Structure 1
Amino acid sequence: MSGGLSRDELVRYGRHVSIPEVGLRGQERLRESSVLIVGAGGLGSPAALYLAAAGVGRLGLVDHDLVELSNLQRQVLHDTNAVGTSKLDSARARLEGLNPHVAIETFETRLDSGNALEILGGWDFVVDGSDNFPTRYLVNDACVMLGTPFAYGAILRFEGQASVFAAPGGPCYRCLFRDPPPPDLVPNCAEAGVLGVLPGIVGSIQANEAIKWLAGIGDTLAGRLLLIDALRMEFRSLDIAPDPECAVCGPEPSVTELIDYERFCGGSPRDEAAGGGAHTEGAMHDLDIDVHELKRRVDAGESFQLIDVREDYEWAICNLEDVGARLVPLATLPQAAESFDASEPLIIHCRSGPRGDRAVEYLRAVGFDNAVNLAGGILAWAEEIDPAMPQY
């Protein structure tokens, strides 16, 4: 897009144009620019809304999930009427209604090593709204290889982070986080929770960084990590320098093509991961059983102990009490395990698998050699055995 702003655009963006640092040329630069947002969830929602409202000419969204009721506490792109529909369809309708001057492109797929360079290529700026480590490392590496800066954001409970990575001369995500944390160390938002307004704060900061970069104004967060504590309402900024030994952006990179990021981060495609944490199938572990085997055992009247290691509020949404499940939140497992019968099979389940894996690992370490995890958790049961069961 080029040329002067139309009368409608002059009115719509008047509060921008009247800022000396932006002016007509800055607004025209926004209209001539493009931003790709990875994830139409908690972070992607405010980022997309504010970038569309600001008049970024071309806006892309990558997601593969459906809108769930549990999303609406923080994912403000979507509303109650959109529950059960594609997040991208919901997002497109909202953004086109907000600003018809913005061209919306959607990519309804899971971002992976096979498609990331193609999808992320050709954009002026990327906003990473993902919620898992494999996707963060993937976005970082792809952006470094493409030479495209991106706004990073992360949230958990009351705490958030934001920065700009892969800018010329600046650090990348790997300069700060050379290696991913152990997969069991950091809980995801489904397990630990997140204050609904926090992604609004962090996602808006990501949009702010994109706007400044595209308009060529101000100082971005490149070279700095912004730390946000919403409970105390404190902001801190830490300086970050490029790592001369960085495996991706260093002078002698050892990672020159995209890798298997699930393996790199020690997880599996079954983890509660990109795009809001929906259940996805992955290869079963040796210590897993699937939901069809559990159903067979129930129907056959076999004797076993079914332990649900989710939290009280999750149990209230949906549970397997009618097939004998007992609620034992993961944090209370060591004490509750004293009441388990070591002579009967133990079947552990959580929402989608990861907490069940941890519970089985602990139980086997303390002598329950017959403990197994229900692959895919209660989400798999809802999808494959009982479609009427509520999902979250």
Structure 2
Amino acid sequence: MIKNKRYIRQMILPEIGETGQQKLLDARVLVIGAGGLGCPVLQNLASAGVGNIGIVDGDVVDETNLHRQLLYTLKDCGNSKAETAEKAILELNPEINVSIFSEFFTAQNASKIVEEYQIIVDCTDAIAVRYLINDVAVAKRIPMVYASIHKFEGQVSVFNYKNGPSYRCLFPEQESLSIVPNCAESGVLGVLPNTLGTFQATEVLKIILGIGTVLSGKLLIYDALNFQTQIIDFPKNPRMIEKGIINGTQILNRKKRNEDLTPEAFFEKCEQQGVIVIDVRELEETPEFKGENVVRIPLGQLEEYSKKLNKNQEIVLFCQTGMRSQTALNYLVKSGFVGVFHLGKGIESLENQIQ
């Protein structure tokens, strides 16, 4: 019997009651991304009593995050988002269990991270990571609760719910490295991700409790500037489902390859004759890493540049944190390149080892 007064107001609801609250306490939800969307998702799930929450984020808190990522304060700047978010939601509800993964979600660590979870919440802003989350979720046959934001608008949906449509059904993958602008480039109204993240948390609770109408096969579009909402229906695409299952199964069953280089292995690779080292950051980003075999090709230009390369050519990629270089690695491998590596945690992991 649940004696905690914390949940009494929602347990009064006949759709929830003590049975529903126990379902929440037993649930296992993985939140990928502890930023603008992830913060309200984590706050709401923890407060509602979702008993087992996983947090995946390899980033650190920055002052530019604070207008929208309300789990963090000025004193948290420079600290791990995953660790800081864990502390914050345990202060909200110390009775839940929280597991953290202070790393970015990749094909290399996906199998280890998702193993115990029943629902995945996509709170990322990277298109390549969304396809990865989708494929893993499809292969595991668990729901993916999705949202994305842009300036004053956002959208929410639930994929892979009870054999429903997937992310690929709505957004067939383009084998391209064209980049969708993120908040840092296009800006965002601070309250917007909090609104959309709350929508995501609502869908998670409905899925766990088995109540209401879940946004499966439906895309909710929210226009904050004009306070308008629209729901668009979209169908299931069996071919896209099959593609997701194949990709996801390969990811979940893959053996760990040494694609992620440590700083030591990175320096060793860079000194090897014939290796091309590609910096996929934008031209203005620092610190600069120089070398006779180092070229700077921003991620958006890599697709065109790669056409000039031999697919047997050994390539080492790097960026600031490892996210863009992982995206570049995935693209090159899909394109048939056989000797591709990247600096796993980006140039930031080199600390004082470069001038």
TM-score past 0.5 threshold: yes
For 1:133 and 1:61, locate their aligned partners in 2 and report how far apart those are by CA, in whole Å.
19
Deviations 1:227-264 (A, max 9, x none): 111111111101121102215368xx6546346xxxxx
For 2:281 and 2:137, locate their aligned partners in 1 and report how far apart those are by CA, in whole Å.
37
> What is the aligned-residue identity percentage?
37
Change (3 A) 1:197 1:258: farther
Task: Compute the RMSD of aligned alpha carbons.
Answer: 3.5
Say which of 11, 15, 38 aligns to 1:17: 11
Query: Would you say 1:5 and 2:2 are equivalent positions?
Result: yes
Query: Would you say 1:226 and 2:220 are equivalent positions?
Result: yes
**Structure 2 alignment gaps of length 5 or more:** 252-259, 261-275, 306-317, 321-345
Conservation of the 8 A alpha-carbon contact between 1:164 and 1:220: yes
Tell me the TM-score normalised to structure 1 length.
Answer: 0.66
* Aligned counterpart, 1:257: 249
Q: Secondary structure at the match of 1:164?
A: strand
Larger Rg: 1
Say which of 39, 47, 54 aligns to 2:48: 54
Conservation of the 8 A alpha-carbon contact between 1:138 and 1:258: no
Conservation of the 8 A alpha-carbon contact between 2:177 and 2:299: no
* Aligned counterpart, 2:184: 190
* Aligned counterpart, 1:127: 121
**Structure 1 alignment gaps of length 5 or more:** 260-268, 270-281, 295-347, 362-374, 388-392
Instruction: Give the ranges of 4+ consecutive aligned residues of structure 1 lying more than 3 Å apart after TM superposition.
Output: 180-185, 247-250, 253-259, 285-290
* Aligned counterpart, 1:64: 58
Alignment-mate amino acid for residue 156 of structure 2: A
Tell me the TM-score normalised to structure 2 length.
Answer: 0.72
Q: Secondary structure at the match of 2:156?
A: strand
* Aligned counterpart, 1:330: none
Change (3 A) 1:258 1:70: farther
* Aligned counterpart, 2:102: 108
How many residue pairs end up in the alignment? 290
Change (3 A) 1:14 1:283: farther
For 1:238 and 1:287, locate their aligned partners in 2 and report how far apart those are by CA, in whole Å.
36
For 1:128 and 1:20, locate their aligned partners in 2 and report how far apart those are by CA, in whole Å.
30
Which deviates the most, 62-71 or 108-117? 108-117
Conservation of the 8 A alpha-carbon contact between 1:37 and 1:128: yes
Shift of 1:141: 0.2
Conservation of the 8 A alpha-carbon contact between 1:130 and 1:136: yes
Say which of 197, 201, 204 aligns to 2:198: 204
Q: Secondary structure at the match of 2:60?
A: coil
Q: What is the correspondence of 1:1-392 to structure 2 with a 5 Å cutoff?
A: 4-6=1-3, 9=4, 11-180=5-174, 182-184=176-178, 186-248=180-242, 255=247, 257-258=249-250, 283-284=277-278, 291-293=288-290, 353=298
Q: Secondary structure at the match of 1:123?
A: coil
Conservation of the 8 A alpha-carbon contact between 2:51 and 2:97: yes
For 2:76 and 2:235, locate their aligned partners in 1 and report how far apart those are by CA, in whole Å.
43
Which deviates the most, 194-203 or 181-190? 181-190
Conservation of the 8 A alpha-carbon contact between 1:174 and 1:248: no
Alignment-mate amino acid for residue 33 of structure 2: G
